[in-house]
Amino acid sequence: MNKEIVDKLSQIQNPVSGKTLSEEDRLIDVEMKGEDLHIKYKRDGISPDIKQTLEKNILTALKDFVSEDNIFLLSVSENSQDVTSKQTADSVNPKNPAQLKVGHGTVGEKRKIPGVKNVICIASGKGGVGKSTFTANLAVTLAKKGKKVGIIDADFYGPSIPVMFKRREHRPSANEEQKILPLENYGIKFISFGNFIHEDEPVVWRGPMLGGVLNQFFFETEWGELDYLLLDLPPGTGDVQLSMVQNIELSGAIVISTPQDIALLDARKALHMFDKLDVHVIGMVENMSSFICDGCGKEHFLYGTGGVVSSCGELGVGYLGQIPLDIGLRKGADFGTPFMTNPEKHSESKVWSAYLDISGKLDSYFYPDDNKKKGLMGKLFS
Ligand SMILES: Nc1ncnc2c1ncn2[C@@H]1O[C@H](COP(=O)(O)OP(=O)(O)OP(=O)(O)O)[C@@H](O)[C@H]1O
Ligand SMILES: [Mg+2]
């Protein structure tokens, strides 16, 4: 292990106490794995906001040794209740924590969510194709265009939005009417089951009971005025999808697929489900479409090419575009800083233009007038 790195790390201060990490004996493990630096530290007594500052300081202090993309920080806490700042005490253990109502979702008339103009679900037939990453980055891109955007993480079995928005440990509050107040970061409001349960707790609730929680996320959450509410769905065509579609008026669905035939087969199942349920499919997105080698610059189509666009033609569904594989997308998701929040680093990339292009198509579809009159911001983000 490079001694200079350890020395540098040891001298970084806890922003609250002013003492160094070594004085507080916080460093547990510092290990270089190939090009990646893995740092494990004790975070007891450090609030989520202070943690953010501390980790930024770590990245800056080590920038001459390891690129920030290659630094992996893992914090462990012996006592998760041990929080210092008032702000943290409130966000981790709010005075009036929102409570989930476990019950059966009522199936009746489709309802609109007051104040929410467009509700769009992001679906896929197969898991791990990038729905949550797409939802997070689409939300950020639409918000940059001046739209008010919210997200419901409807993936009860593997919620990932809290991590992607750096709010893993926050617990939503309720207002006086006991409505849930969504969490917020990067200008996006969001609500996730992940902020109500501990990561290690098994989700033993059965599908129909989850319908009750989903209803609460839709209708008993203080969303305010939103142009878009995006629903990040679990993969497949099961209970959550059905109870959602039965209860609310959706403006449309976006189906994500990777280019392999096997993923496309599953994506077709999702398309058929929406067709049967009378939900308009706005279009399909091909994710992980190619890999651009950072050594030779050549674009490699690892999983073949053209599968999604030709399926769209065959099935009469719109094609929204393709997003290449990019390590920055994965790291942004893991670190809670979505790719599209960082123009300094990413605005020259293919992924950046893909997101601008796709969000532009979507926004022109729902707001054709806004997209005709383009000021500077419109030009930058459309
Ligand atoms: N274009 C991309 N380039 C590189 N990594 C990506 C890309 N899209 C997604 N990923 C990564 O792939 C993994 C799966 O993505 P994600 O969690 O968004 O998929 P998902 O469809 O929501 O999965 P699940 O079905 O489990 O909910 C994540 O580690 C994510 O960071
Ligand atoms: Mg997901």
DSSP string, 214-229: HHHHHHSB---SEEEE
State mean pLDDT over 157-185: 92
- Of 51, 34, 30, 139, residue with least CA distance to 335: 51
Task: Determine which residue's CA is closest to atom 19 belonging to ligand 1.
Answer: 130
Least confident of 205-209, 246-250, 320-324, 349-353: 205-209
* Ligand 1: centre distance to CA 132 (Å): 7
CA angle 52, 135, 199 (to 5 degrees): 55
CATH architecture for residues 3-92: 2-Layer Sandwich (3.30)
* Ligand 1: centre distance to CA 133 (Å): 6
Identify which has the larger pLDDT, 351 or 201.
Answer: 351
Contacts 24+ apart (CB under 8 A), 199-206: 199/168, 203/156, 203/157, 205/102, 205/156, 206/239
- Of 356, 283, 347, 293, residue with least CA distance to 323: 356
Question: How far apart are the C-alpha atoms of 168 and 163, rounded to whole Å?
Answer: 5
Neighbours of 117 (CB within 10 A): 16
What's the pTM?
0.77
State mean pLDDT over 219-240: 90
* Ligand 2: centre distance to CA 9 (Å): 34
330 lines ligand 1 (CB under 6 A): yes
Question: How far apart are the C-alpha atoms of 49 and 200, rounded to whole Å?
Answer: 23
State mean pLDDT over 276-297: 88
Question: How far apart are the C-alpha atoms of 311 and 314, rounded to whole Å?
Answer: 5
Q: Among all chains, which residue has been given the structure tokens 């980790």?
A: 55
Burial of 331-353, coded b for 16+ CB within 10 Å and e otherwise, reads bbbebbbbbbbeeeebeebbbbe
Q: What is the pLDDT of residue 1?
A: 58
State mean pLDDT over 313-331: 92
Q: What percent of the chain has pLDDT over 70?
A: 88
CATH architecture for residues 116-381: 3-Layer(aba) Sandwich (3.40)
* Ligand 1: centre distance to CA 338 (Å): 12
Least confident of 65-69, 85-89, 172-176, 264-268: 85-89
Question: From start to end of 34-175, where are the E strands?
Answer: 36-42, 71-76, 116-123, 149-153
Q: What is the pLDDT of residue 83?
A: 37
Residue 284 pairs with which residues in a beta bridge?
Answer: 255, 319
Helix/strand/coil for 283: strand
132 lines ligand 1 (CB under 6 A): yes
Whether residue 25 is predicted with pLDDT greater than 60 in this model: the reply is yes
Q: What is the pLDDT of residue 207?
A: 61
- Cβ distance 5 to 37 under 8 Å? yes
* Ligand 1: centre distance to CA 39 (Å): 23
Task: Determine which residue's CA is closest to atom 11 belonging to ligand 1.
Answer: 330
State mean pLDDT over 45-49: 75
* Ligand 1: centre distance to CA 354 (Å): 16
Q: Which ligand is nearest to the CA of 128?
A: 1
Mutate to test the pocket of ligand 1, among 132, 294, 349 (most ligand atoms within 8 A of CB): 132
Over its C-alpha atoms, the chain yields an Rg (Å, rounded) of 22
Question: How far apart are the C-alpha atoms of 221 and 104, rounded to whole Å?
Answer: 17
Question: From start to end of 17-97, where are the E strands?
Answer: 27-33, 36-42, 71-76
Q: What would the two tokens of residue 328 be?
A: 């920055």
- Cβ distance 214 to 251 under 8 Å? no
Whether residue 142 is predicted with pLDDT greater than 70 in this model: the reply is yes
Task: Determine which residue's CA is closest to atom 29 belonging to ligand 1.
Answer: 330
235 lines ligand 1 (CB under 6 A): yes
- In sign, the C-alpha dihedral spanning 355, 225, 146, 339 is negative
- pLDDT band, residue 379 (cuts 50/70/90): very low
Q: Residues with Cβ within 5 Å of ion ligand 2?
A: 131-132, 155, 160
Most confident of the following: 23-27, 241-245, 300-304:
23-27
- The side-by-side arrangement of strands in the sheet containing 27-33 is 27-33, 36-42, 71-76
Delimit the domains of the chain by residue range. Answer: 3-92, 116-381
Q: What percent of the chain has pLDDT over 90?
A: 45
Work out which ligand 1 atom sits closest to the CA atom of 332. 31
Q: What is the pLDDT of residue 315?
A: 85
Q: What is the pLDDT of residue 323?
A: 96
Q: What is the pLDDT of residue 277?
A: 85
Q: Among all chains, which residue has been given the structure tokens 């409505």?
A: 179
Whether residue 87 is predicted with pLDDT greater than 70 in this model: the reply is no
State mean pLDDT over 9-18: 91
Whether residue 182 is predicted with pLDDT greater than 90 in this model: the reply is yes
Identify which has the larger pLDDT, 15 or 229.
Answer: 229
Residue 188 pairs with which residues in a beta bridge?
Answer: 185
From its phi and psi, is residue 150 left (phi > 0), alpha (psi between -120 and 50) or beta?
A: beta
Whether residue 77 is predicted with pLDDT greater than 90 in this model: the reply is no
Q: What is the pLDDT of residue 89?
A: 54
Q: What is the pLDDT of residue 206?
A: 58
